[in-house]
């Protein structure tokens, strides 16, 4: 009996450091949430960033934002802040686009339209042609060339409102934006116009990247607002010979110099093990890039600042990376990966926030199952109603090149994104659409994740 009591006492004594460590972690983590929710630092920074305006790669405003965020980082007490040069694509929209629908009886219907990113211009004065409606990207394959040649193709797939996760609906339709101009041109069309890939029901057009192929004639590509697309659909049912007039003055320029912006806290015990987290500084040239992806940038910057403010000395090196050129080229992510390989850097993990500044719900993990289960074992550290899952599959466009280069595990922040595709890539993506508490809960959740990774590795 005495031996049993002795063994029991020794076991209890052995558990004391672990219990103390766990409680210390919980106190530290709770301080992240308390500070984020009361100071609203990420939210205030986001307001300043959005005041600069849209930040498409190659633009003066993108450089202004880059130097602004570096200036902020320089005041935060980080161990190192630096710019990482790269060249980025430079495309400009030009004058406001113009689209008008004409029926055979002389009726005119002005339409809200935006050029798809990277589009070529129309000839001066625009183009006017009959329209052919195509229900999906693949459906055009079954339409004879003679029915399309010389016309404007109107891709009109509806946004699938039955999906609980709106990202699935976006993913199933985004091909019309990316490849519509190529598919239409192959059938002899003179332009491609799509229903905006949007879950909303307003008339703000949604832009985004489009692609061309070298051996296919490049034709103008544009996106209609949802209600404008409804008008075209309705008129075509009554008048199959209705015509559209389209004017766009987009232009490509030579690649422009730009930068990633990187802030770093050096690890005290394992400085050569790097935890990188970030978002992308560039945004489309409409709106303010508040959710996409000013929020993700401020998540990363705010999380790193929380570690400083709460007196955390990380065991592993932690970086906040503001990537450039996610929207139309991924040059920032590629440059970061190239430099990491060149310098022989070892990344423990790369984390990205690019789903918007909404309430955090979980993290998506691209790693081996043992690593994912370790992350899953930390769920209890996150306050209720914040992070509730560590699911298989996740990452991001900016951290993808690093993962492909050396196998670095990837993590992507998942949020309650029901509203994201109402405003994504449109003039509605503005600071006023961001709620401070939702944004700050994301910042604190990112801080919690990198803190635990720094303390306990992966």
The neighbouring-strand residues paired with 92 are 251
Phi, psi torsion values for 231, nearest 5 degrees = -60, -45
Strand ranges inside 266-359, DSSP E: 270-280, 316-323, 346-352
Distance (Å, whole) CA 294 – CA 302: 12
SS3 234: helix
Cα→Cα distances 347→83, 130, 316, 394, 409, Å: 19, 54, 10, 17, 8
Q: Kindly list the catalytic residues.
A: 326
Strand ranges inside 113-173, DSSP E: 113-115, 127-134, 152-155
Listing DSSP states for 74-116 in one string gives HTTT-SEEEEEEEEEEEEE--SPPEEEEE-TTS-EEEE-EEEP
Q: 88: Cβ–Cβ under 8 A, 6 or more apart, which residues?
A: 57, 58, 255, 256, 257, 258, 282, 324, 325, 329, 331, 332
Q: Is the dihedral of CA 428, 432, 438, 439 positive or negative?
A: positive
CB 258 within 8 A of CB 110: no
Among 331, 276, 402, 267, which residue's Cα sits nearest to residue 91? 331
- Residue ranges of alpha helices (H) inside 239-283 are none
CB 406 within 8 A of CB 345: no
Beta strands 221-224 and 191-195, pairing class: parallel
């Amino acid at each position: 009996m005495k031996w049993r009591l002795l063994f029991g006492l020794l076991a209890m004594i052995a558990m004391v450091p672990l219990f103390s460590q766990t409680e210390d972690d919980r106190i530290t983590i709770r301080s992240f949430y308390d500070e984020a929710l009361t100071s609203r630092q990420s939210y205030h920074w986001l307001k300043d960033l959005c005041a600069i305006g849209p930040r498409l790669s190659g633009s003066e405003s993108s450089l202004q934002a880059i130097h602004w965020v570096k200036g902020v980082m320089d005041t935060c007490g980080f161990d190192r802040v630096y710019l990482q040069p790269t060249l980025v694509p430079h495309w400009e929209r030009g004058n406001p686009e113009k689209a008008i629908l004409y029926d055979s009886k002389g009726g005119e219907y002005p339409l809200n339209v935006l050029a798809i990113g990277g589009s070529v211009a129309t000839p001066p004065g625009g183009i006017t042609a009959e329209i052919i409606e195509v229900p999906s990207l693949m459906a055009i394959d079954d339409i004879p060339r003679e029915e399309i040649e010389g016309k404007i193709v109107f891709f009109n797939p509806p946004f699938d409102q039955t999906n609980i996760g709106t990202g699935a609906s976006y993913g199933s339709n985004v091909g019309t934006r990316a490849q519509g101009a190529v598919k239409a041109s192959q059938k002899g069309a003179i332009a491609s116009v799509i229903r905006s890939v949007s879950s909303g029901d307003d008339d703000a057009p949604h832009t985004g990247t489009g692609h061309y192929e070298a051996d296919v004639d490049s034709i103008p590509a544009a996106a209609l607002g949802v209600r404008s697309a409804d008008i075209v659909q309705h008129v075509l049912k009554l008048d199959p010979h209705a015509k559209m007039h389209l004017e766009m003055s987009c232009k490509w320029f030579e690649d422009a110099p730009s930068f990633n912006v990187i802030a770093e806290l050096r690890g005290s015990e394992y400085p050569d093990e790097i935890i990188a987290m970030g978002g992308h500084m560039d945004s489309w040239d409409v709106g303010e890039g508040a959710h996409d992806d000013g929020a993700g940038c401020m998540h990363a910057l705010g999380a790193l600042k929380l570690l400083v403010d709460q007196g955390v000395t990380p065991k592993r090196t932690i970086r906040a990376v503001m990537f450039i050129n996610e929207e139309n080229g991924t040059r920032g992510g590629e440059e970061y990966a190239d430099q990491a390989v060149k310098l022989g850097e070892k990344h423990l993990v790369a984390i990205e926030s690019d789903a918007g500044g909404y309430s955090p719900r979980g993290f998506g993990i691209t790693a081996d199952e043992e690593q994912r289960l370790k992350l899953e074992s930390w769920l209890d550290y996150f306050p209720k109603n914040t992070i509730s899952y560590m699911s298989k599959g996740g990452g991001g466009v900016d951290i993808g090149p690093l993962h492909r280069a050396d196998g670095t595990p990837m993590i992507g922040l998942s949020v309650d994104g029901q509203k994201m595709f109402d405003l994504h890539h449109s003039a509605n993506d503005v600071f006023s659409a961001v709620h401070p508490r939702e944004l700050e809960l994301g910042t604190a959740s990112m801080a919690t994740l990198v803190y635990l990774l720094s303390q306990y590795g992966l």
